[in-house]
Amino acid sequence: MNILIVEDDESVARFLKQATTEAGYRPQVVSDGIDAFNTARLIKFDIILLDVMIPGMNGFEVCRRLRVSGVDTPILILTARDSLEDKVEGLDSGADDYIVKPFQVAELLARTRALLRRGTSSPAILSVADLILNPATRQLTRAGKTINLSATEYTLLEYLMRNAGQVLTRSMILEHVWQYDFEGNDNVLDVYISYLRSKIDKGSPITLIHTIRGVGYRMGDA
Radius of gyration of the chain (CA): 18
Residues 6+ apart with CB under 8 A from 26: 1, 2, 3
Window from 44-53, 54-63, 82-91, 105-114 with minimum mean pLDDT: 82-91
Tell me the per-residue pLDDT of 92-148, one tens digit each, with 9 for 90 and over.
888 888 888 888 888 899 989 888 877 654 456 889 999 999 877 788 999 999 999
Helices (H) and strands (E) in the chain, counts: 8, 12
Q: What local confidence, expressed as pLDDT, does residue 85 receive? A: 74
Residue 63's nearest CA partner among 18, 29, 96, 101 is: 96
% of the chain beyond a pLDDT of 70: 93
81 pLDDT tier (thresholds 50, 70, 90)? confident
Q: What local confidence, expressed as pLDDT, does residue 40 receive? A: 93
Tell me the per-residue pLDDT of 143-201, one tens digit each, with 9 for 90 and over.
999 999 988 898 899 889 988 998 999 888 887 777 555 455 568 899 999 999 999 99
Q: What local confidence, expressed as pLDDT, does residue 119 receive? A: 60
First to last CA, the chain: 44
How distant is the alpha carbon of residue 55 from its chain centre? 23
Residues 6+ apart with CB under 8 A from 83: none
The C-alpha atoms of residue 91 and residue 189 are separated, in whole angstroms, by 13
Q: What local confidence, expressed as pLDDT, does residue 179 receive? A: 58
Q: Are 177 and 158 in contact (CB under 8 A)?
A: no
Can you say whether residue 70 is alpha, beta or left, with left for phi > 0 and alpha for psi between -120 and 50 degrees?
Answer: left
The pairing of beta strand 47-51 with beta strand 75-79: parallel
Q: Are 208 and 221 in contact (CB under 8 A)?
A: yes
Q: What local confidence, expressed as pLDDT, does residue 84 receive? A: 72
Q: Are 52 and 78 in contact (CB under 8 A)?
A: yes
In this structure, how many other beta carbons lie within 10 angstroms of the beta carbon of residue 117? 10
Q: What local confidence, expressed as pLDDT, does residue 98 receive? A: 86
Q: What local confidence, expressed as pLDDT, does residue 101 receive? A: 85
Q: What local confidence, expressed as pLDDT, does residue 123 receive? A: 54
Tell me the per-residue pLDDT of 11-23, one tens digit each, with 9 for 90 and over.
999 999 999 998 8
In this structure, how many other beta carbons lie within 10 angstroms of the beta carbon of residue 209? 19
For range 49-62, the mean pLDDT? 93
Residues 6+ apart with CB under 8 A from 108: 16, 19, 49, 76, 99
Q: What local confidence, expressed as pLDDT, does residue 86 receive? A: 72
Q: What local confidence, expressed as pLDDT, does residue 76 receive? A: 93
The C-alpha atoms of residue 13 and residue 1 are separated, in whole angstroms, by 18
In this structure, how many other beta carbons lie within 10 angstroms of the beta carbon of residue 214? 7
Verdict on whether the full-model pTM lies above 0.75: no
79 pLDDT tier (thresholds 50, 70, 90)? confident
